[in-house]
Structure 1
Amino acid sequence: MSVRLVILLVHCLLGTGLAMQCKEVSGRLKQIDAGVGQVFGVSENDEIYTLYGGTWTRLPGALMHVTVGPSGVWGVSSNNNIYKLVGANWVQVPGLLKQVDAGGDQFISGVNMVDDVFCLLREHTVGYKGVGSPTPWTGIPGKLIYYSCGPNGCWGVNKSHEIFVRKGVFPAACLGNTDWQLVAGKLVMIEVGTDGSVYGVNAVGDVFRRDGISACEPVGTDWTFLSECGKSKHVSFDLGHLWVIAVDDRIRDCVV
């Protein structure tokens, strides 16, 4: 066996998660989202928390899903109302969604109660201040239960757990310029990091990372199973940290 082949094999083994170190973090959350150096989450009782100085700090209000990214901090409540954090206050945004994502290039995306997919252009996302601000949501063809965007495109999963990617998505054209591309695999949730990395969870709680993603290859090449994460229900990645919510709401911080 050549020296070059040995080096490649070692590199591949290290890339499958052997170098990942996970530790349990105090607290319990049902959903978590990390982006632009911040971490937010919500508890089983819809209490909202952010990680500040290594301690979970509770914020006012109640949300069932929260997201943070280049678009700011957004969330949706149990009755599907949409909110944006403006200053220290949650300001309601017209529309209804069950899941929202702020990971796009200053545009918002999400899905509603009947799995319709929407996005809001950067000019309306960043500029939204409250009553009177325009919110012309753009409908995206297709049905998804979860939708997340990053710099190289948007990923989603449908109720059959099929995985799709949408390319050509830009701040002023969040609809994209291509149709959905089916990706091999099955997941129940998927998250795109602000660096373009993609992680997801399947129906039995296994966590996967999409490898080979780049600006030239936004779909990537294959999936890597991350056994170190244990049985999980939600993940989010930012700045080298994969935040994992276990099936019993325990929180893990895995350094990638």
Structure 2
Amino acid sequence: MKLTVCVVLLVVLVLLLPDESAGWWRRRRRRHCSRVNCAWGNWGSWGACTAQCGATGTRTRTRIVATHAQCGGSGCSGSSSETQPCNRGCPNGTPSGPRCICTGTGFTGTCCNTDIDECRDGSHTCNSEHGVCTNTEGSYTCRCDTGYAGDGRTCISTNAGTGWQRVSGGLKFVSVGRSGVWGVNRNDQIYYRTGTYRDEASAGSGWVRIDGALKQISSGDNIVWGVNSNDDIYIRQGICWYSPGGTSWRNIPGKLKQVHVSPTSNQVWGVNSGNNIYRRTGITASNPAGTGWQNIGGQLKFVSVGRAGVWGVNSNDQIYYRTGTSGNENVPGTGWERVSGSLKLISSGNGVVWGVNSNNQIYVRAAACPPTYELVAVNGNNKCLRFSARGDRKNYQAASLTCRGQGARLVVIKSAALDTFIDNRIRTTYAAETWIGLDDLTAPSSQYRWSDGSVLGARDFNDWSRGQPDTIYREKCVEIRPQFSYHWNNHHCNLLKNYICEIGARPGTSQGSSWYRIGGSLTGVHISSSSNQVWGVNSANNIYRRQGITPVSPKCEG
């Protein structure tokens, strides 16, 4: 009883103590509470950007308190959210506010992420007639239709025909030229295809055995060249309309393992067993056999000469073009230009080159200039020129129309180098008055304008003869006049004169366009530069001719 009374009295006493005594008591109780500071939790994921792209978007993320402050711990510092720029950029355009500028990118849309199909909407620059447009992401590519060559924006016919026709017989090598189609079989027996003399587009009617034995043969103009198994060189004489098979073989001094004659010029190139290159010199109309051999620097295993120039392949199947020979077969050229691709055999035509590779795949390449035009490189620029034949004389307007009908124009002469080249060509061929593309037919009077639309200025190059141009006789069209030492002279536009057409060289260099695959499989192929007709043989010695090739009329300067 006494103990219970004592406890009750003690409680009452505590309740009656002053506040200071109560605080002391509470402090004694808090000595058992641990101090805990506030702590943030992890940041959440970023929210969506306020702009799809561009430079003005923002995004926000938040966090929550993971541990609150306790027992006098410090509170959390910083914000529960943060915001940052979220410029997604414009990988296909230029940032502009909350969007992208797509001009010139090939894409469209707010963020330039939708591809434009230029091929479908017609905004491409591929050739409208013979170009093929293929859409790619952000762009497009151009190529030319089969039978056409170029970069897809410029497409020029390669006149590559439409298919292969099997011809009876068996040959290991075949050649076509103005002398007709000639070939040799696996036993080195020689054959001429009847009905093909001066009719290269004909399939002929049969094979006639020719005396002799050759391992390789080449058909020219009333002449055939070949080499035998001993690398001896021979020409076939007596070829004419009444004796298309010729009359006899004549040995030519020298040793060659391969020889080629151009049917447009009868120029001859060849290579020997050491892959040394030779060109026949002294060839004229009266002496197509020539007089000697000129060694040409370089190494080739096969060489061909034609209106497209001199082309060859070396022992590694690398391809080379002889600079300065396109449209100008009568010169040795100035050097060898490496051409892309790989071929084991090559053949030069008129504005086109054919070849086969080590897999017997067939390729064709459009030369720098179209048929009947020759390549002229002046001051680093390539032009294709066509000089009219001696008897091809027209008035100024008719000459201009003739050039335009070929996609060309009367020649524009803006440098002394080109003027000198043209003067020399005229001087050494037909030596007659020749129209150039300069006239005073449009207002204002006495202002001469070139066929490309440019005006002949006072400071521009000119080659006027002394006292020219005059105005007394109302002469409006300009010629190169031999009587005035091949200087320029204005004359009456209705007079008949020779003329020169020009056209820009095909895309690329003097080497022409790219290689284009032709269907089929051949071990050898040959094109005639006088007609662009093509014959070939396969690995089984089967003979084929290309169908659908439009005959090409060769340039004639005589």
Asked if TM exceeds 0.5, the reply is yes
Equivalent of residue 258 in structure 2, options 137, 141, 146: 146
* d(CA) in 2 for partners of 1:241, 1:215: 14
* 5+ residue gaps, structure 1: 1-20, 26-38, 40-50
CA 1:108–1:23 in structure 2 vs 1: closer, same or farther (change >3 Å)?
Answer: farther
* d(CA) in 1 for partners of 2:349, 2:273: 26
1:242 Cα deviation from its structure 2 partner: 1.1
The answer (yes or no) to whether the contact 2:266–2:288 under 8 Å persists in 1 is: no
CA 1:180–1:127 in structure 2 vs 1: closer, same or farther (change >3 Å)?
Answer: same
1:173 Cα deviation from its structure 2 partner: 2.7
Displaced runs of 4+ in structure 1, greater than 2 A? 21-25, 123-130, 169-175, 213-217
Does structure 1 residue 201 correspond to structure 2 residue 313?
A: yes
Equivalent of residue 184 in structure 2, options 76, 79, 85: 76
Residue 113 of structure 1: aligned partner: 229
1:65 Cα deviation from its structure 2 partner: 0.2
Q: Is 108-117 or 142-151 further displaced after alignment? A: 142-151
Residue 128 of structure 1: aligned partner: 243
Residue 16 of structure 1: aligned partner: none
Residue 332 of structure 2: aligned partner: 219
Q: Report the TM-score, using the length of structure 1 for normalisation.
A: 0.72
* d(CA) in 1 for partners of 2:333, 2:247: 33
CA 1:23–1:201 in structure 2 vs 1: closer, same or farther (change >3 Å)?
Answer: farther
Could you say what secondary structure the match of 1:174 adopts?
coil
For 1:209, the aligned partner's letter is Y
CA 1:239–1:63 in structure 2 vs 1: closer, same or farther (change >3 Å)?
Answer: same
The answer (yes or no) to whether the contact 1:24–1:252 under 8 Å persists in 2 is: no
For 1:162, the aligned partner's letter is N
The within-5 A match list for 1:1-256 is 53-87=161-195, 88-102=205-219, 104-121=220-237, 123-124=238-239, 126-128=241-243, 135-150=247-262, 151=265, 153-170=267-284, 172-177=286-291, 179-193=292-306, 195=307, 197-213=309-325, 218-227=331-340, 230-256=341-367
Q: CA RMSD in A?
A: 2.6
The answer (yes or no) to whether the contact 1:152–1:167 under 8 Å persists in 2 is: no
The answer (yes or no) to whether the contact 1:207–1:232 under 8 Å persists in 2 is: yes
Could you say what secondary structure the match of 2:248 adopts?
coil
Q: Deviations over 1:117-162 (max 9, x none)?
A: 01113x33654356xxx62211111110001122162111000000
Q: Which of the two has greater strand per residue?
A: 1
Q: Report the TM-score, using the length of structure 2 for normalisation.
A: 0.34
* d(CA) in 1 for partners of 2:233, 2:331: 20
Could you say what secondary structure the match of 1:220 adopts?
coil
* Percent identity for Structure 1 against Structure 2: 35
CA 1:62–1:163 in structure 2 vs 1: closer, same or farther (change >3 Å)?
Answer: same
The answer (yes or no) to whether the contact 2:309–2:329 under 8 Å persists in 1 is: no
* d(CA) in 2 for partners of 1:22, 1:74: 33
For 1:241, the aligned partner's letter is V
For 1:212, the aligned partner's letter is G
1:168 Cα deviation from its structure 2 partner: 1.8
Could you say what secondary structure the match of 1:226 adopts?
strand
* d(CA) in 2 for partners of 1:172, 1:236: 26
For 2:226, the aligned partner's letter is G
* d(CA) in 2 for partners of 1:136, 1:173: 16
Q: Is 66-75 or 238-247 further displaced after alignment? A: 238-247
For 1:74, the aligned partner's letter is W
CA 1:204–1:24 in structure 2 vs 1: closer, same or farther (change >3 Å)?
Answer: farther
For 2:279, the aligned partner's letter is V
Q: Which has the higher contact order (CA 8 A, sep 6+)?
A: 1
CA 1:22–1:73 in structure 2 vs 1: closer, same or farther (change >3 Å)?
Answer: farther
For 1:233, the aligned partner's letter is K
For 2:352, the aligned partner's letter is H
The number of residue pairs the alignment matches comes to 202
For 1:63, the aligned partner's letter is L
* d(CA) in 1 for partners of 2:269, 2:226: 11
1:175 Cα deviation from its structure 2 partner: 2.7
